[in-house]
Structure 1
C-alpha cells in the first residue's frame, strides 16, 4: 500500500507539501496540488480521511448536486471533482437536480441528514436556499452558477465575456442578423449569456432585434421548437446566425436547421457554448465556446477541502475564462 512518502517522492515534493495539498490548504501552489493529486491517483494512495471525519461527526463524502447529468459539461466537471476527492480519501455522491427546484431541495435535505463533509452545488436558480447546510456548518461551494444570497465560495466562468466574444466573431464573419437561443429567465448562466450577446451586438454596431431572441429549457426539445419558430420568421426576420447557450440546446437547434433544409455556416452561422465530443465530428463542425469544466471541478473540490479544514476564511469567488474555438459552422466561406 502506498504511503505519503511514496506520493511525495513521485511528485517531487516534501511529505508536508503532500499533506497540505491533500487537505486543501490554500498556501500550496495550484500546480503543486495538481502534481500531488496526480501522483496520489497513480499510486492508489488513500489517506485516512474516514477517521478524520468521524472525529467531526461527518462522513468522508462530498455531495455534488448538478442541474443536468446528461450534459457533457457536468460530466467533465464531475470527473474533476472526483479525481481530487478520491486522491484524499473522499467519496463523491452525484445528485441530478434535473433543473427542478424541488428535487434540489430534497437532495440538500439528504446532504444534511447524511452529514456529508461538504456540498458542491450548481443551483437551479438564484433562489436556491442552502441555509439548512450553512446553519449546520456544512461548507457549500457554488459551481457554474452563483448563489447571490448565500455567503459561499464559488467557481464560475466569465460567461458574459465569452458570449460577447462569440457574437463579435459571428459579426466579423459577415453575419448581420444574429440571434440568441438561451435558457430560462432567472438562471444566471442563461441571463449572463444573453447579456453578453447584447454586448457583442453593441460592439459590432448591429441593431438589437428582440424578435431574434428565444428562451427555452436547457434541453434539446425546447431548443428545437424555439429554433423552428426563429427559422419561420415568427415575430420578425429570420436570423442568419445564432449563438446557442449550451450543447444540449445545440442538438435541438441543429435538428431544426436540418429539417429546414439549411446548412450551418453556409446558410446560417452557428456558435454554441460547450465543446461536446460530437461537436467537431458533424458535417460543418461546430464552432464552440469551450468552458474549462474539468478545471472547474478540480478547483471547486480543492476549495471545498480547504473549507472543510478551515471554515474561518472569507468566501471567495474564482472566475475562469472560456475559449472560442472557430470551426466551419461559423464560416460561410469554408
Structure 2
C-alpha cells in the first residue's frame, strides 16, 4: 500500500509538507503543492478515510524527538519524560533524528499524521518544520536546545554559566592556553557554551585566541579530529581543553590517550555533561553536570500544562549546572 512517505520521496519533499498539502493548508509553496499532487496522482495514493476520521481527536501518545539516541545524555532525559507521561496516562513514542533535519521533518510528519497529543523536541537545527506543528495546534515543548524558528515552551540549562564554570576552573588551576571544542554553529548549546568560555577568559584578563577554538559535530570522531588538529598546530597547541559535550569529551580524550599526552600534566581537561564512568577512569574526569532527568520531567510537565491550557503564554525554564571537580583538571 502506498504511504505518505512514498509520496514524499517521489515529490522530493518532507512528509510534513505532504501532510500540509493533503490537509489543504495555504502556507505551502505552489511549486511544492504541484509536485506533491503529481506524486499522489502517479502513485495512486489514497488516504484512509476511516482511519483519518478515527484520528480527528488527539491520541494519548506523545512524540519525543531527540537529536542523538546514541548520546547517554538523552537516556536520563527520556526517562524523565516517560515517568511523567505514564503518571498522566500518556505513552511516549521515541524518535531519533540523528542530528539530521530531514529525519526530524519526517518524524514531524508522523506526529501530524498520527494526531499525537503533543511533542517534546530537541531540535537538530533551526527547527523550521516545528511551525507545522504549531499551525496544526499540536502542543510543543523544546528541550535542551532553543528553537529559533518558533516561540514555544522550552526547558534549557544555563549553558553559558556551565561553560564559564569549566573554563574559570581551568584558569584557577594554572592553565593559560585553554582550547574549546564546541559543537555545530547552528546549535544554541554550542554557541552559548562558546560564549561562556570566552566570558571566563575575559574575566581573567586572558586574550581570546580564535586559533584555540574548534567547531565539531558533537560526535566522537569529529572531536578526535578537532583534538588532533590542536595538537598538530605549531601555534595553537593548548595546555588545557574544554569539551562542550559528553561525546566530544570521549573523542578528545581518546585522541589524547592515543597520542600519549599526559592528562593533567601536559593538558588539563574539563568536559560538559557528566558521564557515568567519569569517576572511574584514570585520571578521573572533571565535568559540568546537567540535571538531565529533571530536564525531561520539567518538559513533560510543561507539555501536560500546555495540553490542558493551550492559550497560556509560552514558558521558558532554565536549570543550573554543577561543576564536578576531579583529577583531569588538577595541575600538579
* TM tier, smaller: 0.7 to 0.9
Q: TM-score, normalised by structure 1?
A: 0.82
Structure 1 stretches of 4+ moved >3 Å: none
1-structure distance, mates of 2:151, 2:212: 37
Unaligned ranges ≥5, structure 2: 1-53
Q: Which residue in the other structure is 2:140 paired with?
A: 140
**Secondary structure of the corresponding residue to residue 228 of structure 1:** helix
2-structure distance, mates of 1:226, 1:309: 46
Give the 5 Å matches for 1:18-97: 57-97=57-97
1-structure distance, mates of 2:92, 2:330: 42
Q: Which residue in the other structure is 2:316 paired with?
A: 317
1:104-139 per-residue CA deviation (whole Å, 9 max, x = no partner) reads 000001000011000000011124321211111100
Would you say the 8 A contact 1:101–1:128 is kept in 2?
no
Bigger shift: residues 125-134 or 156-165 = 125-134
Q: Which residue in the other structure is 2:152 paired with?
A: 152
CA RMSD of aligned residues (A): 1.3
Bigger shift: residues 127-136 or 203-212 = 127-136
**Secondary structure of the corresponding residue to residue 288 of structure 1:** strand
**Secondary structure of the corresponding residue to residue 92 of structure 1:** strand
Q: Which residue in the other structure is 1:38 paired with?
A: none
Q: TM-score, normalised by structure 2?
A: 0.82
Unaligned ranges ≥5, structure 1: 1-53
Would you say the 8 A contact 1:288–1:326 is kept in 2?
yes
Would you say the 8 A contact 2:56–2:115 is kept in 1?
no
2-structure distance, mates of 1:258, 1:155: 36
Q: Which residue in the other structure is 1:37 paired with?
A: none
**Secondary structure of the corresponding residue to residue 313 of structure 2:** coil
Give the 5 Å matches for 1:136-285: 136-233=136-233, 236-285=235-284
**Secondary structure of the corresponding residue to residue 270 of structure 1:** strand
1:39-82 per-residue CA deviation (whole Å, 9 max, x = no partner) reads xxxxxxxxxxxxxxx89711111100010001111111000000
**Secondary structure of the corresponding residue to residue 111 of structure 2:** helix
Would you say the 8 A contact 2:55–2:115 is kept in 1?
no
**Secondary structure of the corresponding residue to residue 281 of structure 1:** coil
1-structure distance, mates of 2:75, 2:233: 35
Q: In the alignment, is residue 329 of structure 1 matched against residue 323 of structure 2?
A: no
**Secondary structure of the corresponding residue to residue 272 of structure 1:** strand
Would you say the 8 A contact 2:55–2:114 is kept in 1?
no
Q: Which residue in the other structure is 2:118 paired with?
A: 118
**Secondary structure of the corresponding residue to residue 138 of structure 2:** coil
Give the 5 Å matches for 1:100-111: 100-111=100-111
2-structure distance, mates of 1:332, 1:76: 32
**Secondary structure of the corresponding residue to residue 261 of structure 2:** coil
Q: Which residue in the other structure is 1:131 paired with?
A: 131
Would you say the 8 A contact 2:160–2:195 is kept in 1?
yes
